[in-house]
Amino acid sequence: MGVPWTPTDIGKAIGVVIIGTIVASVPPTIVAAAIAGSEDIEDDPTALTIALGASIFLELFLFGTALWFSVRKYGVSIGSLGLKWPERGGFWMTVGLTFALVTGAFSISFVYFEALNAVGISPDTDLPEQAYQSAGPLIVLGVLSLVFAPLMEETFFRGFVFGGLRYRWGAAAAAGASGLLFAVAHIGNPGTIYLIPPVALIGALFAWGYLFSGSLLSSILAHFLFNLVAFTAGIAEFS
């Protein structure tokens, strides 16, 4: 049985998120730039903390928009967004699926960046060192990547976007579209455009996890573990 929200609802939600992101980003960016002064925002711990902190509100905005165009608009339960216990398998199935998703995500990343290295491309996709060397940015980055991103992003991109498209476009096209949108949302500096292919594939993989189990639980856990490894690696490299 499909969900009631439509591709039109999804398109409106994406538009709201884009406008909201622009509007919500301007004030903290201005404040951060004023604090940084002649320095780059990335080089000033306080300014960087403010800039990263704004991303937390954007994650909440993603989550709220998904709820608005689904649960609130159509009166369905939050479980329709995949926020429920898996329909297929129990505890060990969830553990196994989570492991498969994490392994697949890291395999995609490894193969992709090894291929780039083989042709001499070294994209600048890393966060600034200051994010790992000062307490303020580090705490905010940890909360953002380990608490907010797994739940909020999986709900929006997998539960809402993929969930709404799969019954109308088919699972493959819906997974591809939601994965691509997920990847585009992660573009920051020009170097991060190289992230689009692997992140899109990882997003599609996580959508498969949702399709297989009927729940976002494994995708959320896999997203968390992927970010945890990346976060830990960043600390180890720059601290």
Contact 67, 80 (CB under 8 A): no
CA atoms 58, 63, 68, 69: torsion sign: positive
Residue 92: C-alpha distances to residues 77, 82, 89, 163 (Å): 26, 19, 7, 24
Per-residue pLDDT for the chain (239 aa), expressed as one digit of tens each? 689 999 999 999 999 999 998 888 899 999 999 998 888 888 889 999 999 999 998 999 999 999 999 999 999 999 999 999 998 878 889 999 999 999 999 999 999 999 999 999 888 776 778 888 889 999 999 999 999 999 999 999 999 999 999 999 999 999 999 999 999 998 876 678 889 999 999 999 999 999 999 999 999 999 999 999 999 998 998 76
Q: Which of 100, 68, 46 is nearest to 222 (CA)?
A: 100
- Work out the burial of residue 25: count CB atoms within 10 Å of its CB; fewer than 13 is exposed, 13-18 middle, 19 or more buried: middle
How is the chain split into domains, by residue range?
7-238
Q: What's the confidence (pLDDT) of residue 190?
A: 66
Residue 230: C-alpha distances to residues 19, 53, 132, 179 (Å): 29, 19, 12, 19
Q: Which residues contact 63 (CB under 8 A, 6 or more apart)?
A: 151, 152, 155, 156
Angle, CA 58 vertex, CA 32 and CA 205 arms, to 5°: 125
Cα 178 to Cα 201: distance, rounded to the nearest angstrom: 10
Q: What's the confidence (pLDDT) of residue 192?
A: 80
Write down the residue that tokens 């691509």 correspond to. 180
pLDDT digits (tens, 9 = 90+) for 157-214: 999 999 999 999 999 999 999 999 999 998 876 678 889 999 999 999 999 999 999 9
Rounded to 10 deg, the angle between the 196-213 and 91-118 helix axes is: 160
